[in-house]
């Protein structure tokens, strides 16, 4: 898959809602998540880690690497992203589920807005986006066939991951 500055990162269906954020949320430890976000603000400033947009609400995004042989999903970084960059990371939810599509519409956004942002950030064409999206979904379908062990890496928590 061609490497872009902003890439679609679809989490395998078998590990949806299984993340560091959800671990903290499910265990009544959201204060730890807030502290992690504040540390990110101190280290990275208050701008999108990918496109550099400032003065907007930022959302923490978990960056994962995948060992496709041993089926291990490893958390390698967390960075703040603007809403558009974050939506592209999870375009499967935002553009291909009823709930995501309704939320996108409530925000006054369309799939076209996301595609335009992707192309602007990556200085690429719509055809480049479409090829990247197809490949991201191909990988997602393949990875979703397996159960994944999770490794929270340097963010390890007692009882977290699998």
Question: What are the pLDDT digits (tens) for 5-29?
Answer: 999 999 999 998 788 988 899 989 8
Question: What are the pLDDT digits (tens) for 126-140?
Answer: 999 999 999 999 999
pLDDT computed for residue 16 by the predictor: 84
pLDDT computed for residue 161 by the predictor: 53
Asked if 62 and 78 count as a contact pair (C-beta separation under 8 A), the reply is: yes
Question: What are the pLDDT digits (tens) for 112-130?
Answer: 999 999 999 999 999 999 9
* 160 — pLDDT class (breaks 50, 70, 90): low
* pTM: predicted TM-score of the whole model, two decimal places: 0.89
Question: What are the pLDDT digits (tens) for 58-73?
Answer: 999 999 999 999 999 9
């Amino acid at each position: 898959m061609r490497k872009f500055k902003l890439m679609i990162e679809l989490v395998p269906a078998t590990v949806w809602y299984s993340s560091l954020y959800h671990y903290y949320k499910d265990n009544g430890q959201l204060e730890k998540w807030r502290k992690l976000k504040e540390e990110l603000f101190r280290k990275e400033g208050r701008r999108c880690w990918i496109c550099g947009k400032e003065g907007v609400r930022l959302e923490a995004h978990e960056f994962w690497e995948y060992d496709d042989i041993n089926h291990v999903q490893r958390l390698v970084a967390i960075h703040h992203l603007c809403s558009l960059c974050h939506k592209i990371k999870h375009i499967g939810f935002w553009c291909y589920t009823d709930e995501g599509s309704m939320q996108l519409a409530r925000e006054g956004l369309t799939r076209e807005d996301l595609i335009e942002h992707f192309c602007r950030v990556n200085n690429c064409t719509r055809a480049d986006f479409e090829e990247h999206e197809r490949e991201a979904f191909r990988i997602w379908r393949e990875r979703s066939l397996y159960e994944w062990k999770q490794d929270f890496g340097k963010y390890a928590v007692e009882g977290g991951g699998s």
